Amino acid sequence: MTWSPAPRFLVYYYVKTFQHAFKSGHVLAIDADNSKGDSPTRTPSAGETVVKLREGDGPPLIILHGEAGTINTFSPLKKSFSSALWAIQVTTGTPLHTLHAQCRFYFDKIKVEQPTGPYRICGFSGSSILAVALVQLFENNGDIVVQLSFIDHFPTIFLAPGLGVDIFKTPLCHPTARQEMIAVNVENLFALTYRDGRENLPQRHKLANELRMAYNDRPSSATADSIRIAYNRFLNQIFDFLLKLKDDAQARGQDGQEMGFLEDWLKLVKAPVTAYLAMNGLLGCLVLENHRSEEWYDLGIHRCFPNAKVEILDAGHFDILKNHSLIRGLQDDYILSRARL
């Protein structure tokens, strides 16, 4: 069975219907990777921000949660890693009013557990933008970051055609820009969940349908409702962050109408960049005009980091975390970099 996305006007309706939930800050320990549709669990307590999934020698790879704020999805990495692996999750104590406050909170929590570098940071899915902001905090503090990795995401896609608000058609300051970005991301969440595992996972299909029902104000599962609330809150945070970046760029006399303001911010990172993209993940969500397809084959990564290593894997957005090339690359790239220090 092939996934068929909902008409755009329906997604806009879903978003408007649930606008009251966007900034609730209510996050349960559920993620879109929960293919079994388990019941929600408690929100982790304030002292559980940093979770040490696997011990090992040397500095750990610190991977940030996805849009829903949870780390359920990282169990394949925990099982397969042979080096130190930590994860960051949203807890009852996480400040969720701005992306900057959330990132500063993570910085402080990591510093308690690992006072000095070098640091290794990884962003999964929409936390790619948090990963960049976190690396900048470390580097501005004089710390060394030896690895910045992205898993099936890159911040520019929030402004990409088919993946976010297409600012080439709808400027961020336009009244409909926020709704457009959220609507496209919501529809892509349905598609990414359904297509995972080559569309051969009935439980994923069930969750995708439950998510659509939740956004259509119809009775759904507690899992889908929890994802909806957390996902929309995070998307609003991201839009606010992007809007401020644009306004700050314009205040400095720069052009804030196209993507330059975001790319300039990304280019402040000094750490080496690697990215692992899923063929059946976000790349499969791109809807591009032919003359622009060459700009987005890598989600815009090489425009910001010409020397970045980008690997496209035969995987979906969530099952990429089981991919041996990803698991090997996240560790081997650091080991090679460490040997050169």
**Tens of pLDDT, residues 295-335:** 788 999 999 999 999 999 999 999 999 999 999 999 985 55
How many CB atoms lie under 10 A from the CB of residue 111?
A: 15
pLDDT at 27 over 60: no
Q: Which is nearest to 167 in space by CA: 154, 155, 153, 181?
A: 181
Domain extent, residue 166, equals 46-339
> What angle, 0 to 180 degrees and rounded to 10, lies between the N-to-C axes of helices 99-113 and 128-140?
60
In the three-class reduction of DSSP (H, G, I as helix; E, B as strand; rest coil), residue 168 is classed as coil
| Calpha distance 37→60 (Å, rounded) | 30
Q: How confident is the model at residue 92 (pLDDT cuts 50, 70, 90)?
A: very high
- Does the residue 36 lie in any domain? no
pLDDT at 161 over 90: no
Q: Do 34 and 242 meet the contact criterion of CB atoms below 8 Å apart?
A: no
- Does the residue 28 lie in any domain? no
| Calpha distance 238→310 (Å, rounded) | 24
- Does the residue 25 lie in any domain? no
Q: How high is the pLDDT of residue 137?
A: 99
What CATH number is given to the structural domain containing 179? 3.40.50.1820
Write out the H or E segment, with its range, that includes residue 316: strand 309-316
| Calpha distance 204→271 (Å, rounded) | 36
- Does the residue 40 lie in any domain? no
Q: Which residues contact 21 (CB under 8 A, 6 or more apart)?
A: 228, 229, 232, 233
Residue 308 is encoded by which pair of tokens?
Answer: 């970045």
Whether the CA torsion 321, 314, 32, 138 is positive or negative: it is positive
pLDDT at 21 over 70: no
Q: What's the whole-model pTM score?
A: 0.84
Q: How many domains does the chain have?
A: 1
- Does the residue 170 lie in any domain? yes
Q: Which of 55-59, 114-118, 204-208 has the lowest mean pLDDT?
A: 204-208
- Does the residue 30 lie in any domain? no
Q: Which is nearest to 124 in space by CA: 75, 160, 79?
A: 75
Whether the CA torsion 293, 299, 303, 308 is positive or negative: it is negative
Residue 339 is encoded by which pair of tokens?
Answer: 């040997």
- Does the residue 6 lie in any domain? no
- Does the residue 251 lie in any domain? yes
Residue 299 is encoded by which pair of tokens?
Answer: 């989600």
pLDDT, mean over the chain: 82
